[in-house]
Amino acid sequence: MTRTEQVSVGYIGLGNMGAPMAKRLLDRPGGLIVCDTRQEALEPFGKAGAKTTTDPRVVAENAAVISVTVLNDQQVRDVVLQILEVARPGMVVAVHSTISDVTAVELAQLCSEHGVELVDAPVSGGAPGAHKGKLAVMVGASDTAFEKVREPFGHWAELVVHAGEVGAGTRMKLARNLLHFVSFTAAAEAQRLAEAAGLDIAELGKVVRHTDAITGGAGAIMLRDSTEALDENDNWYPIMSHVRDLGEKDLLLAIGLGERLEVTLPLARVALTGLGPGLGVDSTATKEQP
């Protein structure tokens, strides 16, 4: 599909994520039809000039590319089955819900029997990113399907990544969210230590958000194309060794403070032994921690 070709798009599921994503498609040439079970969710789109319906089959009759943002695997499956009742060959169904990659692959196979391509395209950036049009979308799709969705996705996503075949988008999202929620757990551990030390944890939060905005947070070290151990002649070796040395020093100090305050820090201890190897360099932390 060339840049000048504009296909009609549909959006199913106008919740906290779907509504702001669909809103950014209102001014796109080609037409927009939206679907939700709630009339109050449809009303602002109807007033803005979009077609509205409560039936996914009507969307399939009017759109060539359909985005789906619903709650879970079962709801995605139900919507896809309804779409396939009236689907036309060449259509693309994009699932933005975070579902199982197994479900995505199974549904893609089912869609292929009808000449329809399903892509799994979960997003990252939350509701704030959706409202600003700054989401990242990780697309598991064939090259052909990716070319069809890249342009409409660009209206609500700042970063559109072709992760690989169907299922790869979901796998990338799960890896990304693993970091997200492990980091939240680590933040909770840090707050327990700070609170026990008599610190204002709200002020600590301000410091963390401020400095992460400068350094890039955990993503700042995700620059290599392999997790293998680094050769000492590799340009990354001195950089990652420096990060390891700083990290192990500070982790040892934090663990020592935790012991004095009788605060258990299990994630800190895991990080102490895992930081170096995770960066591709050996750990220099002593087995006998303070």
> What average pLDDT does this structure show over 249-263?
96
Say which amino acid occupies 133.
Answer: G
pLDDT digits (tens, 9 = 90+) for 89-99: 999 999 999 99
| Distance, CA of 278 to CA of 159 (rounded, Å) | 26
- How confident is residue 47, by pLDDT bands cut at 50, 70 and 90? very high
Q: Any residues with CB less than 8 A from the CB of 212 and at least 6 apart, and which?
A: none
Look at strands 135-140 and 123-124 and give their pairing.
antiparallel
Q: What is the pLDDT of residue 286?
A: 54
| Distance, CA of 216 to CA of 235 (rounded, Å) | 21
Q: Which residues pair with 67 in a beta bridge?
A: 11, 94
> What average pLDDT does this structure show over 245-256?
95
**Does residue 161 have a pLDDT over 90?**
yes
Total residues found in the chain within this entry:
290
DSSP state of 220: G
Q: What is the pLDDT of residue 284?
A: 87
pLDDT digits (tens, 9 = 90+) for 206-222: 999 999 999 999 999 99
Q: Which residues pair with 159 in a beta bridge?
A: 136
- How confident is residue 287, by pLDDT bands cut at 50, 70 and 90? very low
Contact 256, 220 (CB under 8 A): no
pLDDT digits (tens, 9 = 90+) for 20-44: 999 999 999 989 999 999 999 999 9
Q: What is the pLDDT of residue 182?
A: 95
> What average pLDDT does this structure show over 187-200?
97
Residue 234 vs residues 228, 229, 230, 237, 275: alpha-carbon distances, Å: 12, 10, 6, 5, 18
| Distance, CA of 26 to CA of 247 (rounded, Å) | 48
Q: pLDDT: is 251 or 286 the higher one?
A: 251
| Distance, CA of 274 to CA of 118 (rounded, Å) | 38
Best CATH choice for the domain 173-279 from the list 1.20.1250.20, 3.40.50.720, 3.40.630.30, 1.10.1040.10: 1.10.1040.10
**Does residue 103 have a pLDDT over 90?**
yes
pLDDT digits (tens, 9 = 90+) for 126-143: 999 999 999 999 999 999
Q: What is the pLDDT of residue 288?
A: 45
| Distance, CA of 133 to CA of 154 (rounded, Å) | 9
Q: What is the pLDDT of residue 6?
A: 75
Q: What is the pLDDT of residue 24?
A: 97
Question: Which sequence spans correspond to the domains of the chain?
Answer: 9-165, 173-279
Q: For residue 158, is it left (φ>0), alpha (ψ between -120 and 50) or beta? A: alpha
Q: pLDDT: is 7 or 249 the higher one?
A: 249
Contact 97, 91 (CB under 8 A): no
Contact 66, 91 (CB under 8 A): yes
Q: What is the pLDDT of residue 179?
A: 94
3-state SS assignment for residue 151: helix
Q: What is the pLDDT of residue 3?
A: 45
- Element containing residue 221 per DSSP (H, E): none
> What average pLDDT does this structure show over 47-70?
97
| Distance, CA of 118 to CA of 149 (rounded, Å) | 11
The CATH superfamily of 9-165 is NAD(P)-binding Rossmann-like Domain (3.40.50.720)
> What average pLDDT does this structure show over 133-156?
97
Give the E-state strand segments of the chain in sequence order: 9-12, 32-35, 51-53, 65-68, 92-95, 117-120, 123-124, 135-140, 157-164
pTM passes above 0.85: yes
Q: What is the pLDDT of residue 5?
A: 60
Phi, psi dihedral angles at 190 (to 5 degrees)? -65, -40
Kindly tell me the sign of the dihedral angle through the C-alpha atoms of 199, 200, 205, 207: negative
The count of other CB atoms within 10 Å of the CB of residue 25 is 22
- Spot the catalytic one: 23, 51, 148, 173: 173
23 a catalytic residue: no
